[in-house]
Amino acid sequence: MLRKVGQVTVAIKTMLNSKKVVPYIFLFPFIAFFLIFRLWPIVWSFLISFTSYFGGDITFIGIDNYIELFKDRVFWKSVGNTFYFVIIYNVIMIFVAIVMAVIVSSPKIRGRRIYRSIYFMPMAMMLPVVAIVFDLIFAKNIGLISSVFNVFGAELDVRWFGDMKLAMWGVIIMRVWRGVGYYCAYFLAGLAGISDDVYEAADIDGSGAITTFFKITLPLLKPMLMFVVIMSTILSFQIFDEPWILTQGGPANSTLTLQMYLYQTSFLDGNLSKGSAVAYIMTLFMMFFSIMYVKQLSEKE
Amino acid sequence: MRRAISATLALVMLFTMVLAGCGNTVDNANNSSAQTSSSTAGTEVKNEKAVFWTWLSTQQPAIDKYNSMQDEVKIELVQMSHTDIAQKLLIALASGTGAPDMFQQPQRTFSNISKTGKLMDMTPYIQDSINKFSPAVTGLLTYEGKIYGMAPDVSPGVIWYRKDVFEQNGIGEIKTWNEFLAAGEKLKEKGLYIMPVFNPAGTWGANEIAMFMQSRGGNFFTEDGKVIKNNTELEFTLNWFNDALKNGIAEGLTFFTPEFWGEFKASKIVAWPMNIAEGANIKKNAPELSGKWDVMPFPKWDDKTETLTGYWGGTAIAIPEMSPVKEKVVKYAQWLCTTNEGQQAMYTSWGSVPSNNEALKDSFFSKGDEYFSGSNPLEKINDVKPFYYYDFSKVEAIVGEQVDLMFSGKQDAAATARNIENSIASATGR
């Protein structure tokens, strides 16, 4: 008996000292967590997108959820709104972030560190607080914008978040205000990586500020630019919090985004399977954009 | 040796993980429940903890009272918005873990949860008191013949108004909605609004339309759940709101924003036909106007014979089937909804109208409110006709969108009504 126990102990010791086994023992907790908490929900939500599932019994219905979505006018409205937001927001945000980064990184600007901190501050603010402040800025009677017009004797009879044409712009302005400092930090890091020698050479060659920016700064900033574009596009596809707090998708669904449509379908209507189908369509959109960007980036490189 | 120790540690971690994963299924099925007092083998477990999800944090005094009355269960209130509750609850019910022991939801969207089939059947606990409740209310909580929720309250419409401003402008008792509009015209000349109108509409707008339509005896659906086509009551209600906004007697605002309450505090909005629960909101947001506000019943529609009101809705309390203390917490719902004492605790806590018609007859509910010039809002409630809430989260979204289009001038009330009917029929298959 004792001999057998001894043999088992030796076998375990041998196994624990084996280079073939030990790495997998170390990796197992991560792999288990990854499979259970990452991969399985993705697979499971994909599977239930082909079923009718309200949290109770599951019935297989094939691609009916997808067909229903493609026939739904509100779904396409949310797709249109999301693309509109993603394009307009990213163009404005990236332009402003680059300009701000270039200005702040210039040695001619005094107090650059203070500006960097100020730019980053909106990110640190709680979203509900920001939403209340922006609601006040855009309000008709007590709003800051209306007050400015009043100072000049003009009356701005507009309630931004009640106007179908302006509501999304209100959301975009708020999101740009919040996000620009964050992406500005990326561009500052990118600018720091550009050698001063390049600028000195350009200076000796008589290059002006604008030529230097377009011929030197921007091309050398391209890897960081592509990274920011991909990150920002993926994140902006998931826009939810700002319009949900400010407008709840209104007026007339003019600020309803895909993520909000997903939320409404899954958790307000209780249709978890249709919500999963929306999630997968969103994923396809994001993958398409990401692959497109990455491909373009690798071609340029 | 070092590698062996490290590998052993990794194995121990793994073993712990496996143990955690294979723990007691009852505990896992409901991580919210736990004993708070020790018990010995063979004796009854006392004072078990039960978690209650609700957005009404003002319910705490009612819970405290119930906790002090018995030692079977200790209820703990966890506050979150009702949309958060719906979201978390659906996931918890679907996954079989993480649900509370009890939760509260609006009655109008309760069917989204009851149709999961994962709630406790409360029929035996309310059967003896069923006649105390309006069938319109219990109907909302019934699914396939079983009652899955109990309603502690309802929230009918009344008109909150500034008594001082009405008196200054020679506006007396308003008996019909045409008189209300005429009063609005009079106030408009002074730059005052007789009501706020939801703009954008969203769920609030949709529910106000529903409340007004109910006060006309109207509905979106027939009793058996079919969409009413060529709905004249819907068209009338939409037209009424559209005219009020276009004529400038109502002010279009996003409800409950700082701007919204600013208009109340600045005495620009001097009346509000709204549900009774908003009285507490007016008091909270404009305490300096105490004694200046009053309340009157919904007036009669000029083309109708009965004077009715509409419900904003009300709340429902339900229990997930998976709760290990369901037999104990159901007694709280039973006490709160079916007994006079419970209904009084509800009214004292969150000031809504008792759903229990027997309890409402108690003299306890006849007290006046100083804020509303000594009037008792509960005495201003008209009768109500049943309203059928089928797939109401979809209805809210559709009505909200179409009303916004109407307010922006893209379509008239008739086209809005037809679009609403067709969209609801298409989205719900009813």
Q: Three-state secondary structure along B87-153?
A: HHHHHHHHHCCCCCCEEEEEHHHCHHHHCCCCECCCHHHHHHHHHHECHHHHHHCEECCEECCEEEE
Q: State whether B10 and A253 contact (CB < 8 Å).
A: no
- Asked whether A94 and A183 are in contact (CB, 8 A), the reply is yes
| Chain A: closest CA distance from residue B292 (Å) | 23
Please report the pLDDT score of residue B7 as a whole number: 58
Return the pLDDT at B28.
Answer: 38
| B255–chain A nearest CA distance, Å | 11
Over residues B409-420, the mean pLDDT reads 96
Q: How far is CA B109 from CA A22, A268, B105, in A?
A: 54, 8, 8
How confident is the model over A228-277, as pLDDT tens digits? 988 899 899 999 999 998 888 989 999 999 999 999 999 888 899 999 99
Shortest CB distance from B13 goes to which of A29, A139, A269?
A29
Outline which parts of chain B fall under CATH 3.40.190.10.
47-154+313-366, 155-311+370-428
CB contact under 8 A, A54 and B11: no
Q: Please report the number of interchain residue pairs, chain A to chain B, with beta-carbon separation below 8 angstroms.
A: 133
Q: What is the DSSP string of B158-200?
A: EEEEEHHHHHHTT-----BHHHHHHHHHHHHTTT-BSEEEESS
- Predicted confidence at residue B22, as pLDDT, reads 47
Q: What is the DSSP string of B338-357?
A: HSHHHHHHHHHHH--EESBH
Cβ atoms B122, B318 nearer than 8 A: yes
Q: Do A135 and B6 touch (CB under 8 A)?
A: no
Instruction: Tell me the nearest-neighbour CA distance from A215 into chain B, angstroms.
Output: 48
Asked if residues B320 and B119 have their Cβ atoms less than 8 Å apart, the reply is yes
How many helices (H) and strands (E) are present in chain B, helices listed first? 18, 15
Looking at chain A, which residue has its C-alpha nearest residue B402? Answer: A252
Percent of chain B with pLDDT over 70: 89
Let me know if A2 is exposed, middle or buried by CB neighbors in 10 A (0-12, 13-18, 19+).
exposed
pLDDT of residue A209: 84
Mutate to test the interface with B, among A15, A69, A269 (most CBs of B within 10 A): A269
Closest CA in chain A for residue B203: A248
Which residues of chain B neighbour A54 with C-beta distances below 8 Å? Answer: 112, 115-116
Residue B403's pLDDT band, with cuts at 50, 70 and 90, is very high
Comparing B21 with A27, which gets the higher pLDDT?
Answer: A27
State the pairing for strand pair B150-162/B271-275. antiparallel
Of the candidates B4, B14, B408, which has its C-beta nearest A13's C-beta?
A: B4
Predicted pLDDT of residue A104: 87
Nearest chain B residue (CA) to A244: B202
Average pLDDT over residues B190-206: 92
CB A282 within 8 A of CB A237: yes
Taking contacts as CB-CB distances below 8 angstroms, the residues of chain A near B393 are 264, 268-270
CATH number for the segment(s) B155-311+370-428: 3.40.190.10
pLDDT at residue A18 in the model: 77
Residue B281, both tokens: 């909101």
Interface of A with B in 168-227 (CB under 8 A): none
CATH (residue range A69-300): 1.10.3720.10
Window 258-277 of A, Cβ < 8 Å to B? 263-264, 266-270, 272
A12: nearest CA in chain B?
B4
What pLDDT is attached to residue B18? Answer: 52
Shortest distance, CA A77 to any CA of chain B (angstroms): 12
Q: Which of A21, A28, A136 sits opposite B258 (nearest CB)?
A: A136
Please indicate whether, in this complex, the C-beta atoms of B202 and A250 are within 8 angstroms of each other.
yes
Q: How many angstroms separate the CA atoms of B410 and B370, rounded?
A: 45
Percent of chain B with pLDDT over 90: 68
* pLDDT tens per residue, range B102-134: 999 999 889 889 988 899 999 999 999 999 998
Contact at 8 Å (CB) between A101 and A181? no
- Compute the Cα dihedral for A266, A269, A274, A278 and give only its sign: negative
In this prediction, residue B21 has a pLDDT band, given cuts at 50, 70 and 90, of very low
Quick check: B90 and A268 CB within 8 A? Answer: no
Question: Of the ranges A111-115, A266-270, B172-176, B274-278, which one carries the lowest mean pLDDT score?
Answer: A111-115
Query: If you measure CA to CA, which chain B residue comes closest to A133?
Result: B258
Q: Is the pLDDT of residue B304 over 50?
A: yes
B199 → chain A, closest CA residue:
A162
Would the CB atoms of A270 and B116 count as touching at under 8 Å?
Answer: yes
CB contact, 8 Å: A248 with chain B? yes
Residue B351 scores a pLDDT above 90: no
Take residue B204 and report the two structure tokens written for it.
Answer: 């609030």
Q: Could you say which residues of chain A have pLDDT below 50?
A: none
Residues 6+ apart with CB under 8 A from B266: none
Ranges of each domain in chain A: 2-48, 69-300
Of B3, B83, B201, the CB nearest to A268: B83
With 90 as the cut, is the pLDDT of residue B19 above it? no
Query: B47-154+313-366 belongs to which CATH class?
Result: alpha beta
